[in-house]
Structure 1
């Protein structure tokens, strides 16, 4: 069963960095529970379909930008955390934040994204 560290890495690369909607949907099905809840500063998405639509909208706001890990994974119990940066490949990031994931039965059940100030 996948742990939080592996799931956060897959989420970043296979979901938030995946431009193809079909491959992204397949990764969402593998990484997230059916009833996942994703919350960031501006929205809460409930369920895989709502999450997929939210990610599609986020990717449309910054075409060509990529998410990269910006620090080590940290975790305790069923929670995992990892900072990230968003920017053009090889250039200064335009945004950063921290993802906090709660894992249940080998999938992310809750995901919070806290943006840097």
Structure 2
């Protein structure tokens, strides 16, 4: 699950989750730019976590998908608190791993 990556403050656990979910050459795109590969993704996630310590991503609605594409809305906020930001993740999967992930803010 993406929360196992984007909510994980422990670097080793996050790296293990990334290796299990994402392809080696994953491409992640959001409003801030593009990260290519697991190492860049890990650095990007570390930066996101540093921007909002104590905040967590939670799914907001069901997973939806067709063929190799999937999407899910999410919310960001303190555990049990008000939503600060929402968005939508769109993922392309190949061989059981995410190869491309787009994050759209405010969706």
| TM-score bucket (shorter structure) | over 0.9
CA distance in 2 between counterparts of 1:41 and 1:54 reads 12
Query: Gaps (5+ residues) in structure 1?
Result: 1-9
RMSD over aligned Cα atoms: 0.8
Greater fraction helix:
1
**2-structure distance, mates of 1:101, 1:113:** 9
TM-score (norm 1): 0.90
> How far apart, in 1, do the equivalents of 2:11 and 2:81 lie?
26
Which of 1, 11, 21 pairs up with 2:2? 11
TM-score with structure 2 setting the length: 0.98
Match of 2:40 in 1: 50
* 1:90 correspondence with 2:86: no
Distance 1:11 1:91 in 2: 20
Cα distance, 1:106 vs structure 2: 0.3
Instruction: Give the drift of 1:42.
Output: 1.2
Return the alpha-carbon distance in structure 2 between the equivalents of residues 100 and 115 of structure 1: 11
Q: Which has the higher contact order (CA 8 A, sep 6+)?
A: 1
Q: In structure 2, what is the Cα distance between the partners aligned to 1:11 and 1:71?
A: 14
Structure 1 moving runs of 4+ over 4 Å = none
Give the superposition deviation at 1:11: 1.5
The total of aligned residue pairs comes to 107
